[in-house]
């Protein structure tokens, strides 16, 4: 499924025998057209269509980028597959934590054996991990079979790079340190027909001392709101009912635009689009989550009753070392105000354990925030030093055995609070979007409520993409088992 039904007409209108167009959108379509001819020839030579696989690591923005990669591959003549035993495999990488890097290297090690068996296979690596020079050099040295390497800033040149490696049979490496361009008008192959992400901004200006994102994704750049709304309208016409607005820090959306627009204003405009039933966003920063955004969530039932509010630490001393620009009490007050204004909201968070210099007293402060806020869920991570960040150079790194003890304490507190808050929902009827067939329990489908809670109910594939009133019957800590409620019963819009 694609974001622009006129792309075929646009490709047909381009003279492929002439020089490449100057504007980026036309340039990419030009190379899709030229690549399509090449792939058609190679498919004819081997007597079958060439296959392609996109492997994604990391955040929702990476997932959205992979949909662009898949859209370009499909429009270029490849048959998409989930198997890495394909003729073309691209790894879209994440580098937020070290384990993400290691997963990529592990996949490359396995893919080397497949490539030996298939001389036609070509392998590409892109994404955040490639913005770190050390990783690019390691791949070139340890995995010389990789044919294409590029980073986060020039994903819109993918078709051109793909054409070059197939036309010349040479390795291509293209890493841009920055860009001021935003090109979001290219083919997209959506993973889900009923929901989609929309990139509203790129980069981050916060420079938290532990975070590599500003270095690999660049400084903040906001998309024109008219382009965002046009994309949302196109998606609605194509059957999408749930939109997720994506950015490293969505609450700072609008900075630098010629015609000012706040995130709250954008959120309201997206909700006005006919056919859009639910709107989510990811991720806000506590210092930028303004009251007008809280008001929009409170007053508009289309906005999901879920706010992801990254804490990272409950210690003022550690927060200052992290360069987070808020205090423990400011965070608690913000969470209190959100719950006061939106009583049915779920608040989830991120917590880092083992940041340099963290003491038992600092961990106790984090545990206190968990108890006082009562998070509905939390993504809890062990601190991972990222080369080039200030925190990686701090001398007081914490021994692994001490981190493990503290991590278990934090995880236990998170799970206890999450189970308590989830259990309080037992017996309620709430609206859920049926997302997929449950692979672990036959005869069941998996739904997601507005508050982001997952519920498994009896059903089949015909229900996917529909909204159902769901009775929450059995709480299993982080999720529920339930069933479709009687039609006479009213569901809460969660």
pLDDT tens across 185-236, in order? 778 899 999 999 999 999 999 999 999 999 999 999 999 999 999 999 999 9
Mean pLDDT to the nearest integer, 395-420? 96
Q: What is the pLDDT of residues 262-314, one digit of tens each?
A: 999 999 999 999 999 999 999 889 999 999 999 999 999 999 999 999 999 99
470 touches 456 (CB < 8 A): no
The answer to whether residue 488 scores a pLDDT higher than 70 is no
- Look at residue 60 and give its three-state secondary structure: helix
Both structure tokens of 490: 């009213």
Q: Spell out the alpha helix ranges (H) of 47-157.
A: 60-75, 98-117, 133-142
Both structure tokens of 139: 């791949």
pLDDT of amino acid 17: 87
The answer to whether residue 2 scores a pLDDT higher than 60 is no
Q: Which residues pair with 53 in a beta bridge?
A: 89
Please state whether beta strands 88-93 and 51-56 pair in parallel, antiparallel, or not at all (unpaired): parallel
DSSP 287-336: GG--HHHHHHHHH-TTB-SEEE---B-S-HHHHHHHT----HHHHHHHHH
Domains of the chain as residue ranges with CATH: 7-174 (3.40.50.12160), 192-292 (3.30.750.210), 429-484 (2.40.50.140)
Mean pLDDT to the nearest integer, 129-152? 94
What does the CA dihedral 157, 160, 161, 162 come to, rounded to 10 degrees?
Answer: 120
Q: 98-117 vs 133-142: helix axis angle to the nearest 10? A: 30
Residues near 113 by beta carbon (within 8 Å), at least 6 away in sequence: none
The answer to whether residue 487 scores a pLDDT higher than 90 is no
pTM over 0.75: yes
Both structure tokens of 397: 């790194």
pLDDT of amino acid 1: 39
Q: 60-75 vs 158-168: helix axis angle to the nearest 10? A: 50
pLDDT of amino acid 11: 86
pLDDT of amino acid 367: 98
CA 429 to chain centroid? 29
Mean pLDDT to the nearest integer, 91-102? 91
């Amino acid at each position: 499924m694609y974001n622009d039904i006129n792309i075929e007409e646009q490709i047909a209108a381009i003279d492929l025998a002439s020089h490449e167009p100057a504007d980026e959108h036309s340039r990419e379509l030009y190379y899709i057209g030229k690549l399509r001819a090449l792939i058609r020839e190679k498919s004819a030579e081997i007597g079958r269509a060439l296959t392609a696989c996109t492997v994604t690591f990391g955040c929702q923005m990476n997932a959205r980028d992979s949909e662009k990669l898949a859209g370009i591959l499909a429009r270029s003549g490849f048959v998409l597959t989930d198997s890495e035993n394909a003729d073309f495999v691209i790894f879209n990488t994440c580098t937020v934590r070290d384990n993400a890097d290691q997963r990529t290297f592990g996949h490359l090690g396995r893919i080397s054996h497949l490539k030996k068996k298939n001389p036609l296979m070509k392998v590409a690596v892109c994404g955040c991990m490639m913005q770190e020079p050390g990783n690019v050099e390691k791949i070139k040295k340890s995995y010389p079979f990789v044919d294409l390497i590029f980073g986060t800033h020039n994903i819109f040149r993918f078709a051109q790079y793909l054409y070059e490696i197939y036309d010349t049979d040479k390795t291509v490496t293209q890493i841009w340190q920055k860009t001021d361009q935003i090109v979001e008008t290219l083919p997209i192959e959506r993973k889900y027909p009923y929901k989609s992400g929309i990139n509203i901004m790129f980069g981050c200006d916060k420079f938290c001392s532990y975070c590599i994102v500003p270095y690999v994704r660049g400084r903040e750049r906001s998309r024109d709101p008219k382009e965002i709304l046009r994309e949302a309208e196109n998606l609605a016409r194509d059957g999408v009912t749930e939109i997720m607005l994506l950015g490293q820090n969505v609450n700072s959306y609008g900075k630098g635009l010629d015609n000012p627009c706040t995130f709250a204003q954008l959120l309201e405009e997206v909700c006005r689009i006919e056919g859009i039933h639910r709107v989510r966003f990811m991720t806000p920063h506590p210092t930028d989550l303004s009251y007008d955004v809280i008001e929009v969530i409170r007053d508009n039932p289309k906005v999901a009753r879920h706010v992801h509010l990254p804490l990272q630490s409950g210690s003022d001393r550690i927060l200052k070392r992290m360069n987070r620009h808020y205090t423990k009490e400011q965070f608690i007050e913000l969470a209190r105000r959100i719950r006061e204004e939106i009583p049915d909201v779920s608040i989830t968070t991120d917590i880092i354990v083992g940041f340099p210099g963290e003491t038992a007293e600092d961990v106790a402060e984090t545990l206190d925030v968990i108890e006082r806020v009562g998070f509905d869920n939390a993504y809890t991570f062990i601190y991972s030093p990222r080369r080039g960040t200030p925190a990686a150079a701090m001398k007081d790194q914490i021994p692994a055995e001490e981190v493990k003890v503290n991590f278990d304490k934090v995880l236990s507190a998170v799970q206890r609070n999450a189970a308590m808050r989830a259990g309080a929902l037992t017996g309620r009827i709430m609206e859920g979007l049926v997302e997929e067939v449950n692979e672990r329990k036959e005869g069941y489908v998996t739904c997601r409520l507005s508050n982001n809670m997952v519920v498994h109910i009896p059903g089949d594939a015909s229900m996917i993409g529909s909204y159902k009133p769901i009775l929450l019957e059995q709480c299993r800590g982080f999720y529920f088992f339930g069933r479709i409620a009687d039609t006479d019963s009213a569901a809460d819009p969660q």
